């Protein structure tokens, strides 16, 4: 068993790990609470620029997007001549997230298909005029006392706020999600984490990259600390 990559300190008291790197791209762990790329405010720190500065890769490009409150694996391109190929890798990759949600579903597995339409600050489920979205949810553990659940979400499409709006519509919003859940939540973060990224590289080799379980998750729900995530490969 190999040891996890070392923590890399970034400005602003953020840290990351680089889980995979080759000549054309890398996979790194974005902390929650920081934008993944530049915003309208050029003075605001973002994960891609902080990592680019630390690694001295000025052309580092964000291939996938994570929301401000979402942590986990970000796919970043290092070679701008391979942008189309990297976009294709992302399209074909299998992406799995961990979440804590409010409530306890009466199902263990649920596949949801719907159409999502972007709004200014929120995404809505619509009958027509939106883009198809598919997610496979699996509940791994529940805490009846706290009335929260721990699960996996495998996204088969990559739409904005896909997991968040779907779980909210099912009645089990992401814990700490102040847009689709409780507006006055006292949670310290939004409990959504991009956990696994399975992909085929430009040479045709298959890879599966996983992060550690965020400490915040195990603090909020201690029973998941020793969960065997390798068993989830068969889910």
The neighbouring-strand residues paired with 14 are: 10
* Residues 151 and 120 occupy one common structural domain: yes
Tokens linked to 147 = 């009335």
Task: Answer for the pair 116, 60: CB distance below 8 angstroms, yes or no.
Answer: no
d(CA 180, CA 177): 6
Select from 33, 67, 92 the last residue of a domain.
92
Q: What is the pLDDT of residues 82-111, one digit of tens each?
A: 999 999 999 999 999 999 999 999 999 999
CATH label of the domain that carries residue 72? 3.30.2350.10
| pLDDT, mean over the chain | 92
Q: Report the pLDDT value the prediction gives residue 235, as an integer from 0 to 100.
A: 40
Please tell me whether the overall predicted TM-score, pTM, comes out greater than 0.85 for this model: yes
Band the pLDDT of 3: cuts 50, 70, 90.
low
Question: What's the number of domains the chain is made of?
Answer: 2
204 within domain boundaries: no
State the Cα–Cα distance between residues 149 and 136, nearest whole angstrom: 16
The SS3 of residue 83 is helix
Mean pLDDT of 157-186: 94
Domain with 60 in it: 1-92
In the three-class reduction of DSSP (H, G, I as helix; E, B as strand; rest coil), residue 85 is classed as helix
Dist. CA 83–CA 80, nearest whole Å:
5
Helix (H) or strand (E) holding 165: helix 162-170
> What average pLDDT does the segment 142-152 reach?
96
């Amino acid at each position: 068993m190999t040891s996890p990559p070392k923590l890399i300190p970034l400005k602003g008291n953020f840290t990351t790990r680089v889980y995979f790197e080759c000549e054309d791209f890398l996979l790194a762990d974005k902390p929650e609470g920081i934008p993944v790329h530049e915003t309208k405010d050029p003075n605001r720190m973002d994960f891609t620029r902080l990592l680019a500065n630390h690694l001295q890769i000025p052309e580092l490009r964000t291939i996938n997007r994570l929301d401000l409150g979402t942590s986990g694996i970000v796919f970043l391109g290092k070679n701008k001549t391979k942008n189309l190929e990297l976009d294709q890798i992302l399209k074909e990759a299998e992406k799995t997230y961990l979440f804590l949600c409010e409530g306890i579903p009466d199902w263990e597995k649920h596949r949801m298909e719907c159409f999502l339409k972007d709004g200014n600050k929120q995404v809505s489920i619509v009958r027509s005029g939106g883009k198809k979205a598919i997610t496979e949810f699996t509940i791994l553990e529940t805490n009846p006392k706290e009335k929260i659940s721990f699960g996996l979400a495998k996204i088969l499409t990559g739409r904005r706020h896909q997991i968040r709006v779907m779980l909210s519509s099912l009645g089990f919003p992401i814990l700490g999600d102040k847009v689709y859940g409780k507006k006055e939540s006292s949670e310290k973060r939004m409990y959504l984490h991009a956990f696994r990224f399975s992909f085929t590289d430009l040479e045709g080799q298959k890879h599966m990259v996983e992060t550690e379980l965020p400490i915040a998750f195990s603090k909020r729900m201690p029973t998941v600390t020793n969960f065997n995530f390798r068993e989830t490969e068969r889910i």
